[in-house]
Amino acid sequence: MIILGIETSCDDTAAAVCHNGEIISSFVSSQDIHTAFGGVVPEIASREHEKYLSIAVSEVVRQADIQIRDLDAVAVTRGPGLMGALLTGVSFAQGLASGLEILCIGVDHIEAHIFANIISRQEFIYPFLCLLISGGHTQIWRVDGLRCYQLLGETRDDAAGEAFDKGARILGLSYPGGPAIEKASKGGDEFAVDFPQAFLKSNDIEFSFSGLKTALLNYVHHQGKEYVRKHLKDIAASYQWAIVHILLSKLLQSVELTGIRSVAIGGGVAANMRLRSLSKEMLTGYNVLFPKKNLCTDNAEMVAFLAEKYLEAGFDDDTDIKVVPNLRLSS
Ligand code: KG4
Ligand code: ZN
């Protein structure tokens, strides 16, 4: 089976081809244009997707050394994400599939992030826990199989990626904030500033990052620009520590609560190297998996791969694709 995946939920225009469980080509065009605005501008994102979609698809078909007619299905992200961006991808996918007279399959972006962990790891066994940390989500899922998910906990307000993005903006760093804070924190003292970690002492699987962002804002106002510039690496390292430490503390609590010893970490924040190194210290003895770095952030490999899993399981019911910007993965 040869499936073309398309991903346009936010500011990455991505396409990939999956052939019998193997990714044979992949392309991502990240929209750097948003950096100048300090965040994603929805209108611009849709227009950029329109510009680059056909280039992305031609490129993955060429890389895969196939003809477009060889495709058996087109898979596309239908939510959650930005309305215009999603609509651009879904319209393109539906047009292509209808021209080729093949199936068009709508995929849940969050479910795809979970399954990014399984690409190239067919031996992966259920159940496992998934810490899903992106620009819009911070959740811990129990995964018992395809479409068998239970939400153990999530954030009450900002997502972990959003905390990185807003923190970077406060510190005068560029967008996206995660890589910028990670870079700025190199060689910094993680314990220089004691930033708050909400719910650290509670047994509940819950997150909140809005207080952390306010604490950083107050700290910066109090210390002044010159002090912040001089101590940037310590402040960035302490802020990053507050985020990665609370994420892993809650994941550890979830492991202890459920007795499930396999965990997967996915979404853009999973690309963070401090999170990866700290997970080795905090979750020793557990089976901890991260996707390859390029599969943490948005990509179409996970879309094509998950669609193939749907088809293998006989779920080809989603031909009338509805775009749902606030789509929630059902528990
Ligand atoms: O999964 P993703 O690409 O898009 C969404 O579905 O939201 O995640 C994007 C988020 C952004 O907030 C970005 O700052 C964060 O992932 N991110 C990182 C890193 N790379 C991307 N956060 C921390 N460290 C990184 N290295
Ligand atoms: Zn994502």
Tell me the per-residue pLDDT of 282-313, one tens digit each, with 9 for 90 and over: 999 999 999 999 999 999 999 999 999 999 99
The torsion of the CA quartet 164, 166, 170, 174, rounded to 10 degrees, works out to 70
Mean pLDDT (whole number) for 87-114: 96
* 102 Rama class: left (phi>0) / alpha (psi -120 to 50) / beta: beta
Strands 73-79 vs 22-30: parallel, antiparallel or unpaired: unpaired
Q: The dihedral of CA 161, 166, 172, 174: what is its sign?
A: positive
Q: What is the pLDDT of residues 142-158, one digit of tens each?
A: 999 999 999 999 999 99
Mean pLDDT (whole number) for 146-173: 97
How close is the Cα of 231 to the center of ligand 2, in Å? 32
Q: What is the pLDDT of residues 266-280, one digit of tens each?
A: 999 999 999 999 999
Q: What is the pLDDT of residues 41-55, one digit of tens each?
A: 899 999 999 999 999
Residues in a beta bridge with 154: 139, 206
Confidence at residue 119, expressed as pLDDT on a 0 to 100 scale:
87
The protein residue with its alpha carbon nearest to ligand 1, atom 14, reads 178
Mean pLDDT (whole number) for 62-82: 98
Q: Which atom, in ligand 1's list, is nearest to the CA of 134? A: 8
With a 6 A CB cut-off, is 269 part of the ligand 1 pocket?
Answer: yes
Q: Which atom, in ligand 1's list, is nearest to the CA of 109? A: 6
Strands 262-266 vs 206-207: parallel, antiparallel or unpaired: unpaired
Least confident of 6-10, 114-118, 131-135: 114-118
Q: Going by C-beta distance under 8 Å and a sequence separation of 6 or more, which residues neighbour residue 135?
A: 10, 159, 161, 162, 165, 176, 268
Residue among 164, 248, 275, 276 whose CB has most ligand 1 atoms within 8 A, to mutate? 164
With a 6 A CB cut-off, is 80 part of the ligand 1 pocket?
Answer: no
Confidence at residue 330, expressed as pLDDT on a 0 to 100 scale:
80
> Band of the pLDDT at 38, cuts 50, 70, 90?
confident
Give the C-alpha separation, 270 to 178, whole Å. Answer: 10
Q: What is the pLDDT of residues 188-239, one digit of tens each?
A: 999 999 999 999 999 999 999 999 999 999 999 999 999 999 999 999 999 9
With a 6 A CB cut-off, is 268 part of the ligand 1 pocket?
Answer: yes
Confidence at residue 123, expressed as pLDDT on a 0 to 100 scale:
67
| Assessment of whether the complete model's pTM goes beyond 0.85 | yes
CATH 3.30.420.40 placement within the chain? 2-114+295-312, 126-290
Q: For the chain, what percentages of helix, strand and coil (3-state, to nearest 5) are there? A: 45, 20, 35
CATH H superfamily, domain 2-114+295-312: ATPase, nucleotide binding domain (3.30.420.40)
Residues in a beta bridge with 14: 7, 28
Phi, psi of 105, deg, nearest 5: -120, 130
Overall residue count recorded for the chain in this entry: 331
CATH architecture of 126-290: 2-Layer Sandwich (3.30)
